[in-house]
């Protein structure tokens, strides 16, 4: 039975990855310090003997006993509001945390896949974004702590590949959504659905003409699975190229939820990327991958999952006071 370490296991993506690798017959070691993760995402796995969990901060020295065949480094805050609340931890987990994971992979002779991001392209001057584009990132802006840590992560990962001959994989993840996103983490989909469920108006930042391209979590997990098992060491974009403006997205959520609330406009946060869409030519040709779940289907499943959450979760204040966080 292959053995895999997944950091950020209690988070949105991490927990879906744990599920997938358990299903594929792996022994899964989950690790998380629970700053932004939630053990409820893993509750169903604890009874399984193929699953173990370490409550640990990967930014400090990590030790895992026994062999490891694979490591997935997915620990990181992932919402612009988190970057403002916990900027130093965000920088550390992308840089020091990555270094620790690479060191562990080397010690165990394991293959490692690191979670990078479309944020390495910053506010992109090239559209859609290809892996060859070097990006347009403000290192000292509100997103700099995430973007620069992830750029460092890619450089460090390539260095371990070229210098130590480590088997490394780099995925650049574009906006992804699905069940288990933190309802109040400030990102646009949980923000809009949360607002609709609480009977609040939907807050569109700026004029809402900025674009994003949303990928359903199961599609992303399939892309990760394929990339891990490929032999391609360079960055690969995984995302859904179906691009939409944020205003159109708000309208879709209003239709989906049937809310009577309206759209209100708030100031656009600093350095908010104006457009984002992955070029997935590489994923198509190297991995034979493309997204299968339409936004209509994915949103239906996600809405049903959010609707089933307990009322106290729905009304938890965390982060909601931060709306319009970078207004000044």
On whether the CB atoms of residues 72 and 17 are closer than 8 A, the answer is yes
Please identify, using beta-carbon distances, which residue of 80 and 291 lies nearer to ligand UDP: 80
Give 244 or 305: the residue with its C-beta nearer to ligand UDP.
244
Q: E strands, 129-233, where?
A: 168-173, 176-177, 202-205, 211-213, 215-216
Determine if 100 is a binding residue for ligand UDP (CB under 6 A). no
Residue 240 touches ligand UDP, criterion: CB under 6 A: no
**Which residue number, 104 or 326, has a Cβ lying nearer to ligand UDP?**
326
Cα-based angle 191, 150, 45 (whole degrees, multiple of 5): 60
Q: Is 59 in the site for ligand UDP (CB under 6 A)?
A: no
Q: Output phi, psi for 257, to 5 deg.
A: -90, -15
Catalytic residue among 146, 160, 216, 325: 146
Between β-strands 176-177 and 215-216, what pairing exists: parallel, antiparallel or unpaired?
Answer: parallel
272 binds ligand UDP (CB under 6 A): yes
* β-strand partners of 205: 266
Among 29, 246, 283, 326, binds ligand UDP (CB under 6 A): 246
261 in contact with ligand UDP (CB under 6 A)? no
**Is 232 designated active site?**
no
Burial 147-166 (b: 16+ CB within 10 A, else e): bbbbbbbbebbbebbeeeeb
Pairwise CA distance, residues 10 & 68, whole Å: 19
Mask 5-44, x = binds ligand UDP (CB under 6 A)? ----------------------------------------
Between strands 236-238 and 168-173, the pairing is parallel
Query: Should residue 115 be labelled a site residue for ligand UDP when binding is judged by CB under 6 A?
Result: no
Q: Helix (H) and strand (E) counts for the chain?
A: 10, 13
| CA atoms of 317 and 146, how far apart (whole Å) | 24
The footprint of ligand UDP on residues 188-227 (CB under 6 A) is 188, 191, 203-205, 210, 212
Binding mask 147-186 for ligand UDP (x = CB under 6 A): ----------------------------x-----------
Q: Which residues bind ligand UDP (CB under 6 A)?
A: 79-80, 175, 187-188, 191, 203-205, 210, 212, 246, 269, 272
Residues identified as active-site: 146
């Amino acid at each position: 039975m292959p053995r895999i370490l997944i950091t950020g296991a209690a988070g949105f993506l991490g927990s879906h990855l744990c599920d997938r690798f358990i299903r594929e017959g792996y022994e899964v070691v989950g690790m998380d310090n629970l700053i932004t993760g939630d053990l409820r995402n893993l509750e169903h796995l604890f009874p399984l003997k193929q699953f173990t969990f370490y409550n640990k901060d990967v930014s400090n020295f990590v030790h895992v006993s026994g062999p490891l065949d694979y490591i997935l480094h997915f620990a990181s805050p992932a919402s612009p509001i988190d970057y403002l609340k916990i900027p130093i931890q965000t920088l550390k987990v992308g840089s020091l945390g990555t270094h620790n994971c690479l060191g562990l992979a080397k010690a165990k002779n394991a293959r490692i896949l690191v979670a990078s991001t479309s944020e390495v392209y910053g506010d992109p001057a090239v559209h859609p974004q290809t892996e060859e584009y070097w990006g347009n990132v403000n290192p000292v802006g509100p997103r700099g702590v995430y973007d620069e840590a992830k750029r460092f992560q890619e450089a460090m990962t390539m260095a371990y590949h070229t210098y130590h001959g480590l088997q490394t994989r780099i995925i650049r993840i574009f906006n992804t959504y699905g069940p288990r996103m933190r309802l109040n983490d400030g990102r646009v989909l949980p923000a809009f659905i949360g607002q609709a469920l609480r009977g609040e108006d939907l807050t569109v930042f700026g004029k809402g003409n900025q674009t994003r391209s949303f990928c359903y979590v199961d599609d992303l997990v399939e892309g990760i699975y394929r990339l891990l098992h490929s032999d391609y060491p360079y960055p690969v974009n995984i995302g859904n190229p179906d691009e939409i403006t944020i205003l159109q997205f708000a309208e879709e959520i209003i239709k989906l939820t049937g809310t009577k609330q309206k759209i209100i406009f708030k100031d656009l946060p600093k350095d908010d990327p104006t457009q984002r869409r992955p070029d997935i030519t590489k994923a198509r040709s190297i991995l034979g991958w493309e997204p299968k779940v339409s936004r209509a289907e994915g949103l239906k499943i996600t809405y049903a999952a959010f609707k089933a959450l307990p009322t106290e979760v729905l009304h938890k204040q965390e982060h909601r006071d931060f709306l319009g966080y970078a207004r000044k």
